[in-house]
Chains A and B, each alone.
Chain A
Amino acid sequence: MALWYALVDLLPFEWAQPGQMYFMKHALLAVLVITPLFGILSTMVVHSRMSFFSDALGHSAFTGMAIGALCGFHEPTWAAVIFALLFALLFNMVKRRSALASDTVIGVFSSTAVALGIFLSTLGGRSFTRFNSLLIGDILSVEPEKIGVLALILLLIVGLWAVSFNQLMLSAVHPALADSRGVRVFWQETVFSMAIAVVVTLSMTWVGLLVINSLLVLPAAAARNVARTMQQYHLFSLLGAVLSGVAGLMTSYYVGGSAGAAITLYLAVWFALTFLVRKK
């Protein structure tokens, strides 16, 4: 962290002065770790049309929090991660065995998870308001240890991308073709949706449940407007996510307002810009 503080101290902002405003410095580092995560995952969420699924995962993450809180865990996030992983696994298994369209299966899972979450969190006449902070998120409350966990996840995701992106892409294009070339389509898809589950759950507290899915859709949606190859696609998605992340945090610092929402708004602007210069 000391290295990071020293680095930030070089920036020409009032909050970047040495020895103060640590929450802002933490938040900036957190944004620089979280946004690439979403920039990377976003490419595949959009390419394999999973935006509805990632939305449903966000809901299940909240339910996991409620379960964790009910069990009296000091750190309900881990209960939420486990719940989201189970949700992703179960969803993929049901989807494989069922003849229903995948958006129907998602609808079934999503509504069940939300209902369960609301029921559990209001059990015994308790108020729902203590979960409000999850809906909006607060990046300024991030602690260094949490950034460390997120950085570790970022490393894992980059590793996952290095070994299985090709197979994921092929599975999304044509499952039977992928299978004929030795890709284990079910496991590729399941591991990918579990990765989304972990990332969504861990960053929900900082980004906010209501806007988290936009981070999984907008970067790659904007990149698609202009990219012609997979390399450009990833570059634009990452660039859009990171730039919007930093700009959103700054804006939220100077004018107030939720950072998660500000980041999303910048991403929407990024989408609009790329749409205007889109490839023909």
Chain B
Amino acid sequence: MRKIKHGKLAAGCADACCLKLEGLSVRLEGDSILEDVSFHLHCGEIVALIGPNGAGKSTLFRSILGQMGYKGSITFAPAGGPAIRLADGTVTGGTRPLVGYVPQAPSFDRGDPVSVLDFFTAATARWPVWLPIPAKYRDRAAACLARVHGEDLLNRPMGGLSGGQLQRVLLALALEPVPHILILDEPLSGVDIEGEHQLLDMLDELRTQYDLSIFLSTHDFATLGQFADKVILLNRQVLKSGTPEQVLSSPEFYETFHLRMGKGGG
């Protein structure tokens, strides 16, 4: 299923574009949500974020998206270019990275009068979607959906999509325009096995095609080894990071999820 594994894990980011988080801390109403979180995210790399509920995964995503105040720094260095500090928004030379975001299961009721085309056009174009949508936008939405093999979904109601189909529509949206960093908040929850394989293959394809870094959170540890270059175990702090094998066999992992470390079971 995997075509290449990125070989830059241990190396620095001198030659590749890189998102650096250094000493990131977030406090909300007196509670510490994230403490001194530091790691790097390279282009073409798939990094999985794991941790129990309430570990701060969504908060970490929202910090990168700039939707949350934080201490510490998040900087983006494009390949060969100068580093850009994300928080200030004052970009000095170079471009601010585009971050594509696939949120966790947005709520669509079955009866919502929103077609996939309406949703897509509303998010990507200025054309008001309460007017009949011109062919130009229809074609563009179809082309974007084709990237995720979802052309046939264009006229379906958003509320009638399966979990996997909804994820694909949201992924197509996050890829328009193609971002530097793609963030997916629990893309595998509510998706059946077939949808899961389809989605993971697609992410692998996208990564090689566009050389973007993919950062996703998941609770599905069984598949981690198949797609992730790096796994970060988060519970307010980074408890462990490394290859899937390293993290999944670490005492930190067992402790966090209250599993017993016993040799030979029991």
Interface residues of A (CB under 8 A from B): 43, 47, 99, 161-163, 165-167, 169-170, 173-174, 176-177, 179-181, 223-225, 227-234, 279
Which of these, A179, A223, A231, contacts B65 with CB under 8 Å? A179
Given A166-B125, A166-B128, A228 contacting B29 (CB threshold 8 A): no
Instruction: Kindly list chain B residues whose C-beta atoms are within 8 Å of the C-beta of A166.
Output: 121-123, 125-129
Known: A166-B126, A230-B115. 20 other contacts (CB 8 A): A47-B112, A161-B128, A161-B130, A165-B128, A166-B127, A167-B122, A169-B122, A174-B103, A174-B106, A177-B123, A179-B67, A223-B113, A228-B157, A229-B117, A230-B122, A230-B129, A230-B130, A231-B131, A232-B113, A233-B113
Closest to A164 in B: B128
Cβ-defined contact, A176 with B132, below 8 A: no
A228 with B106: CB separation less than 8 A: no
| A223 to B, closest residue via Cβ | B113
Q: Is A231 touching B101 in the complex (CB atoms < 8 A)?
A: no
Say if the beta carbon of B111 comes within 8 Å of chain A.
Answer: yes
Contact A165 B130 (CB under 8 A): yes
- B122: chain A residues within 8 A (beta carbon): 165-167, 169-170, 230
The digit string for B114-143, where 1 denotes a CB below 8 A from any CB of A, is 110111011101111111110000000000
Majority secondary structure of chain B interface residues (helix, strand, loop or mixed)? loop
Tell me if B39 is interfacial: C-beta within 8 Å of chain A: no
Q: Are B113 and A169 in contact (CB under 8 A)?
A: no
A126 to chain B, nearest CB (A): 45
For A228, A230, A232, the residue with the greatest tally of chain B CB atoms inside 10 Å of its CB is: A230
What residues of chain B have their CB less than 8 Å away from a CB belonging to chain A?
Answer: 29, 62, 65, 67, 99-101, 103, 106-108, 111-115, 117-119, 121-123, 125-133, 157, 170
Other-chain residue from A43, A180, A224, A230 in contact with B118 (beta carbon distance below 8 A): A230
Q: Residue B113 contacts which of A99, A161, A181, A228 (CB distance < 8 angstroms)?
A: A228
Distance (whole angstroms) from the CB of B33 to the closest CB of chain A: 14
Q: Which of B99, B119, B130 is within 8 Å of A180, CB to CB?
A: B99
Q: Which A residue's beta carbon lies closest to that of B65? A: A180
Docked CA distance A47–B125 (Å) = 20
Can you spell out 24 A-B residue pairs with CB atoms less than 8 angstroms apart? A163-B126, A163-B128, A165-B130, A166-B122, A166-B126, A167-B122, A170-B123, A173-B106, A173-B107, A173-B119, A174-B107, A176-B62, A176-B67, A176-B101, A176-B103, A179-B65, A180-B101, A224-B112, A225-B111, A229-B118, A230-B114, A230-B130, A231-B129, A279-B111
Please name all residues of chain B whose beta carbon is closer than 8 Å to the beta carbon of A230 when the two chains form the complex.
113-115, 118, 122, 129-130
Question: How many A-B residue contacts, CB cutoff 8 Å?
Answer: 86
Interface class of chain A by DSSP: helix
Interfacial chain A residues near B170, Cβ < 8 Å:
177
Chain B minimum-CB-distance residue to A232: B113
Report the minimal beta-carbon distance from A61 to chain B, rounded to whole angstroms: 26
A43→B128 CA distance, assembly (Å): 14
How far is it, in angstroms, between the C-alpha of A40 and the C-alpha of B255 when the chains are bound? 55
CA distance A179 to B112 in the complex (A): 21
- Give A230 to B127 CA distance when docked, in angstroms: 13
Min distance, Cβ B213 to any Cβ of chain A, angstroms = 16
Q: Pick the residue among B67, B99, B113 that contacts A229 (CB under 8 A).
A: B113
Q: How far is the CA of A43 from the CA of B131 in the complex (A)?
A: 13
Listed from nearest, the 7 A-B pairs whose CB atoms lie closest are A227-B113, A180-B101, A233-B113, A166-B122, A174-B106, A234-B130, A230-B118
What separation, in Å, do the CA atoms of A181 and B120 have in the docked complex?
12
B56 to chain A, nearest CB (A): 15
Q: Is the CB of B132 within 8 A of A231?
A: yes
**Chain A neighbourhood of B119, CB < 8 A:** 173
Chain A residues contacting B126 (CB-CB under 8 Å) are 163, 166
